[in-house]
Amino acid sequence: MKNLFFLLAFLISTVSLAQSRTPRTFLLVHGAWSGGWDYAQVDALLAAKGDKVYRPTLTGLGERVHLSNANVNLSTYISDIVNVIRFEDLHNVILVGHSYGGMVIAGVAEQVPDRIRQLVYLDAMVPNDGESAKDVCGPIWDALMVPHIKDSVMTYPFGPTKPTPPMDVPQPIKTYTEPLRISNPRVGNIPTAFIVMTKNGKSDSHTDAMGLSRARARNWKIYPFEGGHYSMREQPENLVKKLELVLGK
């Protein structure tokens, strides 16, 4: 009975908090081979706080796997997200990109910087002008990625995937090889943070060059986060808490 009382009190306080503040708008961009499904639990947790959450799936991945074709490239993905912002008429967006999704949100910021309140690179790639995801990968590309290229796609390189949905699926190779042009000076005015996943307090030295070292060079705020690369799958509650910390809540 006592536990039930505390549960009810918690739920009431959560609802009251959600009703007492202006909802925030989150636009969550998943990583390679993934889909909007990856953020389902994070979506539910943020929505319970009263926030608006969008977690679109990039063309040819997730539930849109039937649209996969050899012509899908990075520009396609950037358009996927820019069009969500424009057609949903979103403003003051908290734009989060996980892993490969860093390539996408960097391109989105180039096109609609006035719509973005905060950029969050979640253990993500941080491209320079003229770089593709292949370029950002550096030596990891040949060592890890190339063996998984089959025809016009790259299959998931980190072990076997689930046999049934939701699951990681092959991704069109042009999404990795198309370079991104970065030149919009207004992007520099957007508050930007980098969340780096750590193990025993240390980041992965093999992947630091893809994101963390680039974030440091840009003087972005760095937030260590203990755990594996897929925090939205493995610890969604803690990811939400980390996002709150980034946003100063």
Report d(CA 169, CA 186) in Å as an integer: 35
Does residue 75 carry a catalytic annotation? no
Q: Which of 99, 132, 203, 231 is catalytic?
A: 99
For residues 23 and 51, the answer to whether their CB atoms sit within 8 Å is yes
Give the 3-state secondary structure of residue 199: strand
Phi, psi values for residue 225, rounded to 5°: -145, 110
CA–CA separation, 168 vs 155, rounded Å? 9
Q: Distances from the Cα of 30 to the Cαs of 172, 188, 213, in angstroms?
A: 15, 23, 21
CB atoms under 10 Å from CB of 241, counted, come to 14
Tokens representing residue 30 in the block? 């998943």
Nearest to 191 by CA among 138, 247, 123, 235: 247
Task: Enumerate residues 6+ apart whose C-beta is below 8 A from 42.
Answer: 28, 53, 55, 232, 236, 239, 240
Residues forming the active site = 99
